[in-house]
A and B are shown apart, each in its own frame.
Chain A
């Protein structure tokens, strides 16, 4: 199978062509404001470099930060009605209660509370009230809003209420776009509801962006299917991504970590992705990034997405190096993409980490004579500082006392040439485009997160049920059934509650099923 992986970042669009497990070519080009032409350029460049014809390409995988940026910048967001099912419960905190006001206003600040919802054990809080929902539908229609996010209490335990309400709205408002929270998030009402609302307000934009990607691929003459990568490093079909744009949040760091795993052939490791300004450090477990356990904010909104647990520090190839009376200070400020004009080695006036590495003779870049004056003491102190910064965040990301290797990727990888924290160092080929490789090799997943009463069904039966549900979720997301593996099982008892109510999370992953 010949695949193209593309990572559309804020600054660069990276692309690779892969034949099975082999990287045929990788290119970096500038991201464009209209998205489409940047992708068109990247596709043309990478096809040319690989020597493959457009007709040879079976599938294209795209990772994009476009939707995250839309929320962060509050642009292109659709007016959205947030409907919550759970009355009389939850009335104390209405939808979007903790949102930044500008974002709430940007999407129309429209929310409704209605009856419905479930208890942690599946009992009903109150029955769904069709008349009540029809009235809400009338109001939404009258306000000219065509996008609804539905969130029901404990919908990860039972999604019945959300589905019934969706059917009522679809009938009452023909052509309405609906997002159900149970399809996106996990337990934690406000966070899941936030994700559902953000997804809903991105629906119009996602239609346009996906269309732009589709056109770019078609104009390159590629007939293969195309997919987007989501925040857990797995794929969604373009049509699915159009419905769930919010799932692309944080796919960038995930792709580079997955790419690092693939390029190095190592599945359990610490990954350090060094860019121009920051380094992202995370850990790989069975080839996937470990997920964050705390709430992650996107554009000022608290979410509980399946985000990789990435720790960022202000260290990159363009980081400022400053001598102070307390010693050498490295970062967090950086010349960023202006490195090609501002760093000493490129004729600029600012001392950066890249200058020091070149002065130390560790790497050949730019004009070495321009850093010949740096004192050995400064070079040694800077290198020691960089090593200490990396060591601290690597230690922080370790999952076990086992001596895991450290994989270093990204354009700023030149800063590293010896083991960090005494761990084996791997710098794979094509390290600069690891994120596009991560997109190209993405698999397909299904996940379940719900509460079981173990006193009633027992732990084994609960885990078996959750696993079966995760497998079905993976199949419906496009995985070939034979290839599916359970990659993550976690059960945490709910504190302060007898009856052994336990929250179970299971994730299943399989290879993409291409027909």
Chain B
């Protein structure tokens, strides 16, 4: 098996930064996850990253991630065994050895969680994930589009409780797991969507872990070399800068436990005289410029502080912040009718159709 790269303690810094950029405004601050991954690598071993094509067709691969409120995770830090317990229990249930670890979500804190499992088990970590960004719900994984079921799934808390779910649909998995997560204290860790290598090759969003590392490295390098950090990220992602402006108004409200809101911008420099609006629901989902919708979920919308290039989360949006907003195409799987059904603007309650970002 060819190893693509080896991730050491110090590499996690860049991965966490890149994860925050792919977080598209949500997914939680990767800080605690980064520290956990660093501790695991320090205690066990560096993590081997492999390309998905390196998997044998009959290999067993299992994604892991954190579920719940990232704010809770920053206060009630995991005990540390949850992911491993979930992973090993699922292995036991499946009745065979797992061959590789997979990332469920490359955006936000979950860009870092699979490293904890890979470091401890010594298993390779596949370079890719099931979103290519951050999304708020468990059924929003490309895996499901190839018929992979989220269950059997094992959900674990800090106390050692674990819950096995076997559900009729991935949407039900989300619903029941969400309720259990609240009982578990607002944050829990899990292993789910077990699949074989042949399926993984079809449905994994490829290369996203390398991408997070590259993005972090790019940002760090640009700063060290006194180059424009945003321009460096734009180049790296081949993204479009859809706006450069200052937030002039922000409104937030809570609907069903999810923060929804809108931020209005006024343009500066090249966008002076133009208006811009960013709608978010944990993640940035719809961008409107001069009254016209220009980008919608599932294409990626990410906001960077204009000067520093630091990714800005929806929670951190505030009046006066000067941002450059970037858009980039999502994985083609999300653009299918089935994908749009799962994560298109209408799923999130916006009365607009998905329009393909060129």
Contacts and interface: CB of A to CB of B under 8 A. Distances in A.
A186 to B, nearest CB: 10
A495 interface: yes
B69 A89 contact: no
Given A93-B35, A497-B69, A189 B75 contact: yes
Interface string A381-415: 00000000000000111111100000000000000
Closest 5 CB pairs of A and B: A92-B80, A498-B257, A89-B158, A497-B69, A493-B254
Given A399-B320, A494-B186, A500-B254, A92 B78 contact: yes
Question: Which of A88, A123, A492, A502 has most chain B Cβ within 10 Å?
Answer: A88
Secondary structure type dominating chain A contacts: loop
A119 interface: yes
Given A92-B77, A495-B258, A501 B32 contact: no
A188 B80 CA distance: 17
A126 interface: yes
B322 interface: yes
A503 interface: yes
Given A86-B76, A89-B78, 11 more contacts: A88-B159, A89-B159, A90-B79, A93-B80, A97-B35, A120-B75, A153-B76, A190-B35, A493-B254, A493-B259, A498-B257
Interface stretch (B192-200, B205-213, B311-319, B333-341): B311-319
Nearest to B72: A120
15 contacts: A86-B77, A125-B158, A125-B185, A153-B75, A154-B76, A188-B74, A294-B316, A395-B320, A396-B320, A398-B319, A401-B248, A494-B69, A495-B315, A500-B257, A501-B257
A498 B258 CA distance: 7
Contacts of B248: 401
A295 B316 CA distance: 12
B35 to A, nearest CB: 5
A496 B133 CA distance: 16
Question: Which of B71, B159, B160 has most chain A Cβ within 10 Å?
Answer: B71
B254 A187 contact: no
Contact of A396 (B70, B76, B77, B322): B322
Question: Which of B74, B75, B136, B320 has most chain A Cβ within 10 Å?
Answer: B75
A86 B76 CA distance: 8
Contacts of B256: 498
B39 A93 contact: yes
A119 B184 CA distance: 9
A419 interface: no
Interface in B254-270: 254, 256-259
Contacts of A495: 26, 28, 69-71, 258-259, 282, 314-315
Nearest to A400: B319
Nearest to A84: B77
A154 B254 contact: no
A123 B76 CA distance: 12
Given A125-B185, A154-B76, A498-B257, A98 B35 contact: yes
A40 B334 CA distance: 71
Interface of A: 86-93, 97-98, 117, 119-121, 123, 125-126, 153-154, 187-190, 293-295, 395-401, 492-503
B104 to A, nearest CB: 14
A401 B247 CA distance: 10
Interface string B70-95: 11101111111100000000000000
Nearest to B283: A495
A89 B77 contact: yes
Contacts of A92: 36, 39, 77-80
Question: Which of A97, A492, A497, A498 has most chain B Cβ within 10 Å?
Answer: A497
Contacts of B80: 91-93
Contacts of B72: 120, 494, 497
A493 B315 CA distance: 9
Contact of B39 (A87, A97, A125, A400): A97
Contacts of A496: 28, 67-70, 136, 257-258, 282
Question: Which of A92, A121, A294, A397 has most chain B Cβ within 10 Å?
Answer: A92
B214 interface: no
Given A98-B35, A125-B185, A499-B257, A398 B320 contact: yes
B6 interface: no
B283 to A, nearest CB: 10
Contact of A190 (B32, B81, B259, B316): B32
B320 A497 contact: no
Nearest to B319: A399
Interface string B81-119: 100000000000000000000000000000000000000
A48 B315 CA distance: 52
A376 B158 CA distance: 69
B201 interface: no
Contacts of A189: 74-77
A503 B252 CA distance: 14
B17 to A, nearest CB: 14
B352 interface: no
B74 A120 contact: no
Given A120-B186, A494-B71, A125 B322 contact: no
B324 interface: no
Given A93-B32, A125-B158, A493-B254, A119 B185 contact: yes
B24 to A, nearest CB: 13
B40 to A, nearest CB: 8
Contacts of A492: 252, 259, 315
B158 A497 contact: no
B69 A501 contact: yes
A19 B71 CA distance: 47
Nearest to B83: A92
A431 to B, nearest CB: 25
B246 interface: yes
Contacts of A503: 71
B178 interface: yes
Contacts of B160: 88
A293 B316 contact: yes
B320 A397 contact: yes
B56 interface: no
A22 B81 CA distance: 62
Contact of A125 (B70, B159, B282): B159
Contacts of A153: 75-76
Given A294-B316, A400-B319, A495-B26, A188 B75 contact: yes
Contact of B182 (A125, A293, A397, A498): A498
A51 B186 CA distance: 62
A87 B78 CA distance: 10
Given A97-B39, A395-B322, A496-B69, A119 B78 contact: no
Interface in B166-209: 178, 182, 185-186
Contacts of B159: 88-89, 125-126
Nearest to A191: B74
A187 B35 contact: no
A375 to B, nearest CB: 28
Contacts of A293: 316, 318
Given A294-B316, A495-B70, A501-B69, A119 B76 contact: yes
A97 B315 CA distance: 26
Contacts of B320: 395-400
A190 B77 contact: yes
Nearest to A392: B307
